[in-house]
Amino acid sequence: MKALITLFATLIGFAGLANAQTDTESLFVVLTSDDAETQMMAMVLATQSLNKDVPVRVLLCSDAGELALKDSESPAFVPADRSPKQLLMGLMNNGVQVEVCGIFLPNRDYTEADLIDGVGTAAPPEVAEFMKQEGVRYFTF
């Protein structure tokens, strides 16, 4: 009987571990790279996560902030034949919160008017609150 109880407890533990690994509450993608291929992979993974019903939030910092500019372009990649910017726009069209970091605009010759409609500027205290939430997973590129 004791062995049966131990086995049952172990199975419950494994079931809990499996659920913990698949029940992601949110994915936080922080992109800093100016490399278009790296940007594409970040947007592909964010899109795939969203397609799996995982809420996604994107923070663009450093040179990756250029993706959020109205007049910026990025190359298309196969096999999707789409660009990182196109995937970013698709994420936004599906309700994903996209922001540039709080120091992006003040340290460049851009203003909020230069950003794609719907892209915000991250407030560090609010981002810190979001990051400390249980269940937030991070991808940094």
- Mean model confidence pLDDT for the chain: 87
Asked if residue 36 belongs to a domain, the reply is yes
**Which strands make up the sheet holding 56-60, listed edge to edge?**
120-121, 97-100, 56-60, 26-31, 136-140
pTM (2 d.p.): 0.82
Q: Which of 60, 74, 50, 45 is nearest to 115 (CA)?
A: 60
Q: What pLDDT, on a 0 to 100 scale, did the predictor assign at position 7?
A: 32
Asked if residue 9 belongs to a domain, the reply is no
Q: What pLDDT, on a 0 to 100 scale, did the predictor assign at position 80?
A: 87
Q: Which of 38, 19, 21 is nearest to 29 (CA)?
A: 38
Asked if residue 125 belongs to a domain, the reply is yes
Asked if residue 3 belongs to a domain, the reply is no
32 in Cβ contact with 122 (< 8 Å): no
For position 82, which CATH number holds?
3.40.1260.10
Instruction: Report the number of distinct structural domains present in the chain.
Output: 1
Structure letter (DSSP) for residue 94: T
Percent of the chain with pLDDT over 70: 83
Q: Compute φ and ψ for 71, nearest 5 degrees.
A: -95, 10
Asked if residue 1 belongs to a domain, the reply is no
87 in Cβ contact with 40 (< 8 Å): yes
Q: What is the pLDDT of residues 11-53, one digit of tens each?
A: 334 334 334 444 558 999 999 999 999 999 999 999 999 999 9
Which domain range does residue 85 map to?
24-140
Q: What pLDDT, on a 0 to 100 scale, did the predictor assign at position 24?
A: 57
Asked if residue 11 belongs to a domain, the reply is no
Asked if residue 72 belongs to a domain, the reply is yes
Asked if residue 2 belongs to a domain, the reply is no
**Tokens representing 128?**
């810190």
